[in-house]
């Protein structure tokens, strides 16, 4: 009863101060993700400087496969977040509890599927991207060590999604921050003794600790608003289908992005300097991720807020928080774009001392910097539509951006026309501009439909 009143007051607080609520949800998530991103950068620096560019290239080959697992998990997790948020907005706690329990059961099932696929087809996935022998060996060491920790990673993401659905972003920040600090502590000794396999082992150990903490707090201590009581669990196919209905298009969007990374590695392997190009591409992705964290955090918080406002039928608040969100994120993205354009030559040498890799990375940032505001707008619009309970627009937009435009143009410029690598980056810029236009129009039409029902 006490937790129900607490959640009711939190929903009232969100309705009373939608702009402030956006930041209350976003900032803790931002801090937690920042710690994780800083770890990824430190990990990249250790691997790049202590092991070499071949190891970074191996990391780049592993990333599409890893991103597939993470993408499907985050996509379904966002479906759970939306379903839980809408149920809370409708003041249906038991329904929200059921969604949370189905999410955890789904996580256990997915873990076994991914482990089996990884063990059976991992080598084929890695070798098909054009990695040379040394890079392939590093990729295998990293991938097959990391696959062991798949259940801990997936369930950790799902626990965070459940908490986001009930509007709690502070607890995940603390737990993930602790896991990241542990990862950073373990990295130097394990990498020193086991090279890239040690980096993967440090990740698995930290993910295991995070999983144990989440499970203890949410299942055994039961200190949150939502209740996870698996002794009384009753399977409800409609609840699972609703998570899939909202989450699968988002998961497919992430899957398309993974396929895009896979194809881009193949495209880059066709250049005159394949390992350097793949290593640079892997490095810049990890660097830009740190700076995209505010945008990712705010857009993810929009799912919770829009879902609650939509469930509570407070449609006018969606317009208010959306306008505030777009204004703030575009300002941030322009600042980040300028930073990357002018300072990439100072950032990249921190992670690798290979001149060829550094120059390729600089060429990427000189072009991608102009795409950042468009990526931001597309992300905010897609997540807002998802908060309304519709995820398929995100899948369609992502498919158009990544496969139809970016990969097709990149393949044409590099593979067919044999043009310089900068044209691969121009392909990405063109695709981001196109996606922002399409997503903006789509959101406008969805909001217009809602206003007709008032």
Q: Report the chain (454 residues): mean pLDDT per 10 consecutive residues.
A: 48 78 81 71 78 82 84 85 82 83 91 94 84 83 91 91 79 83 88 87 92 86 70 82 82 82 89 86 86 86 84 85 92 94 92 89 96 94 86 84 94 93 95 95 91 71
N-term to C-term CA, the chain: 33
What CA–CA distance (Å, rounded) separates 37 from 299? 17
Helices 53-89 and 372-387: crossing angle, nearest 10°? 30
Sheet strands (E) in 270-363: none
What CA–CA distance (Å, rounded) separates 216 from 137? 37
In contact, 164 and 81? CB cutoff 8 Å: yes
**pLDDT, position 131:** 67
Of the candidates 244, 108, 231, 97, which has an alpha carbon nearest to the alpha carbon of residue 166?
A: 97
Burial class, 237, CB count within 10 angstroms (exposed 0-12 / middle 13-18 / buried 19+): exposed
**pLDDT, position 451:** 76
Q: What is the pTM of this model?
A: 0.75
Of the candidates 99, 93, 95, 102, which has an alpha carbon nearest to the alpha carbon of residue 225?
A: 93
In contact, 69 and 257? CB cutoff 8 Å: no
The count of other CB atoms within 10 Å of the CB of residue 451 is 10
**pLDDT, position 32:** 65
């Amino acid at each position: 009863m006490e937790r129900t009143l607490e959640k009711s007051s939190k929903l009232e607080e969100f309705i009373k101060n939608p702009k402030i609520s956006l930041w209350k949800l976003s900032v803790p998530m931002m801090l937690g993700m920042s710690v994780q991103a800083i770890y990824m950068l430190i990990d990249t620096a250790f691997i790049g400087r202590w092991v070499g560019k071949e190891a970074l290239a191996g990391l780049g080959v592993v990333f599409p496969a890893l991103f597939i697992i993470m993408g499907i998990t985050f996509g379904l997790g966002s479906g759970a977040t939306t379903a839980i948020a809408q149920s809370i907005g409708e003041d249906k706690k038991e329904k929200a509890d059921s969604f949370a329990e189905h999410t955890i059961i789904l996580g256990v099932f997915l873990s076994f599927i991914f482990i089996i696929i990884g063990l059976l087809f991992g080598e084929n996935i890695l070798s098909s991207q054009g990695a040379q022998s040394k890079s392939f060996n590093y990729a295998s060491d990293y991938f097959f060590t990391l696959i062991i920790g798949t259940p801990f990673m997936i369930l950790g993401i799902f626990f965070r999604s459940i908490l986001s659905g009930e509007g709690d972003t502070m607890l995940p920040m603390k737990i993930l921050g602790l896991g990241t600090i542990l990862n950073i502590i373990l990295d130097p000794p394990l990498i020193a003794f086991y090279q890239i396999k040690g980096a993967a082992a440090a990740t698995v150990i930290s993910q295991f600790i995070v999983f144990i903490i989440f499970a203890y707090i949410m299942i055994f201590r039961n200190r949150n608003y939502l209740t996870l009581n698996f002794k009384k669990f009753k399977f409800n196919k409609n609840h699972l289908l609703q998570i899939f209905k909202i989450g699968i298009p988002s998961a497919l969007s992430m899957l398309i992005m993974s396929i895009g990374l896979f194809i881009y590695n193949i495209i880059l392997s066709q250049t005159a300097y394949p390992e350097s190009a793949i290593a640079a591409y892997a490095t810049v992705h990890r660097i830009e991720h740190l700076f995209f964290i505010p945008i990712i955090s705010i857009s993810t918080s929009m799912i919770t807020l829009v879902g609650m406002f939509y469930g509570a039928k407070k449609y006018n608040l969606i317009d208010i928080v959306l306008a505030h969100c777009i204004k703030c994120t575009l300002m941030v993205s322009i600042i980040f774009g300028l930073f990357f354009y002018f300072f990439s030559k100072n950032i990249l040498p921190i992670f690798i001392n290979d001149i060829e890799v550094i120059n390729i990375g600089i060429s990427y940032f000189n072009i991608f910097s102009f795409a950042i505001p468009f990526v931001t707008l597309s992300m905010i619009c897609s997540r807002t539509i998802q908060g309304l309970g519709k995820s398929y627009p995100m899948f369609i937009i992502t498919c158009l951006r990544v496969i139809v435009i970016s990969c097709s143009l990149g393949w044409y410029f590099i593979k067919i026309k044999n043009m310089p690598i900068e044209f691969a980056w121009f392909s990405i810029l063109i695709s981001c501009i196109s996606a922002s236009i399409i997503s903006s129009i789509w959101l406008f039409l969805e909001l217009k439909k809602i206003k007709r029902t008032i």
